[in-house]
Amino acid sequence: MILYMTWFSERGRELAARITELSLSVSYGFWQSRYGGHPAVSKIQIRERGNRSLPDFLEEAFAQQFPVIFIGALGIAVRAIAPLIRHKTVDSPVLVLDEAGQFVIPVLSGHLGGANELAQQIAESLHSAAVVTTATDVNGLFAVDVFARKNGLRVCNPEAIRHVSGKLLQGEIIVMAVDPACMSPEEMAELQPPKEVKLISWNEAQAEHAVDVWITKKEPQEDRKTLVLAPKTAVLGMGCRKNKSYNEIKQMIKTLVDSRKIDLDDIYALASVDVKEKEPGLQELAQHLRVPFVVFSAGELKKVPGDFTASAFVSRTVGVDNVCERAAVAAADGGSLLIHKQAMDGVTIAVAKREKIVLQFV
């Protein structure tokens, strides 16, 4: 995980060094696959300000939506980030620590960006206090935006989040409806929502209930108070030459987006072969997209059925004849291949469609 970190004293620098040694992560979607695989493991990489101005340093971080950690006064952080704040869906998670490491304060993008989650992890590791002020967290209530982030659901109308949270804070139960096209009633029956969430099927919602949250693949309705969550369905299978930079890999994504072959907001996961698990460009891309980076062994990829673009060179190099197409289908749990192998300047990509969704309340 890449963290942009700045400090203003020697004690701050020493605390930054301690944070570098921690194991930190933000959950951007549960996934499961009949073909195995596992989430890629990444170490903390600190981007320091060095001799750059603070505004330039922060502008770079916010452009990538990467976390920013200030070690120093909260007021400095607030004044510094104010010109960069756009919307909760795209803002960088921002945290502030005092230089003694006594308090960890999530300031911005606590839920969707994962700042609260990072603050809790850092505080636990440093034996300090996480100062979390979001009302649902303080009251131990269901946070629908965290639920969306952790389940790979796109928030179609984020302005409706406050309506859902408002009802919960008033002690009311919210009604969450799931379209049967996303999950069958039998699968829904196995879920264990918190007591403040009533889970029903789409048809029931239309017939009997005022709905607070809809999980559906359909277009958002006119009722702006109903929060619409759409399952992200596109899984990117990728391969690249060793040490391909993030910017070079991102150019391939930009080409597909510009040609309208994929929608950035619909990307659910990034997948590859396990020899690419520590490829910095792929790890950085997954963090920028805020999606899981999943890797499979060559043996696991060989078990994926389908008509794939074979390469003798790839087979000799990594032990399987195709990486991007097989990885995309595997991470989509056997979903259909939408875009076959595309190659450009040492980067390959394929796109599969995730047909089934997995929901968890945790």
Six token digits for residue 198? 């009533």
Tell me the range of 127-131, 177-181, 208-212, 246-250 where mean pLDDT is highest. Answer: 127-131
- DSSP per-residue letters across 174-186: EEEEE-TTTS-HH
201-213 pLDDT tens trace: 876 556 456 899 9
Higher pLDDT, 345 or 261: 345
User: Which residues touch 337 (CB under 8 Å, ≥6 apart)?
Assistant: 306, 325, 328, 329, 350, 351, 352, 353
pLDDT band at 323 (very low <50, low <70, confident <90, very high): very high
Cβ–Cβ < 8 Å for 225, 164: no
Q: What is the bridge-based pairing of β-strands 94-97 and 45-48?
A: unpaired
Name the phi and psi angles at 134, rounded to 5: -65, 135
* Cα distance between residue 253 and residue 185, in whole Å: 36
185: its two tokens? 């009633």
Give the three-class secondary structure for 95: strand
Go through the domains of the chain in sequence order and give each one's CATH number: 2-138 (3.40.50.11220), 153-231 (3.40.1390), 234-353 (3.30.420.180)
Percent residues over pLDDT 70 in the chain: 97
Residue-wise burial string across 28-37, b where 16 or more C-beta atoms lie within 10 A, e elsewhere? bbebebebeb
Q: What does the pLDDT read at residue 23?
A: 86
Indicate the pLDDT class of residue 158, thresholds 50, 70 and 90. Answer: very high
Beta-carbon contacts of residue 355 (< 8 Å; ≥ 6 apart): 233, 332, 333, 334, 335, 336
User: In whole angstroms, what is the distance from residue 291 CA to residue 33 CA?
Assistant: 16
pLDDT of residue 143: 97
Query: pLDDT tens-digit profile of 17-42?
Result: 999 999 888 888 877 899 999 999 88
Can you list the alpha helix ranges (DSSP code H) found in 127-245? 135-138, 144-150, 161-169, 185-189, 202-208
Q: pTM of the full predicted structure?
A: 0.91
Q: Report how far apart, in Å, the C-alpha atoms of 30 and of each of 188, 257, 332 are.
A: 16, 24, 12
Residue 237, both tokens: 């299978």
358 vs 107: CA distance, rounded Å:
30
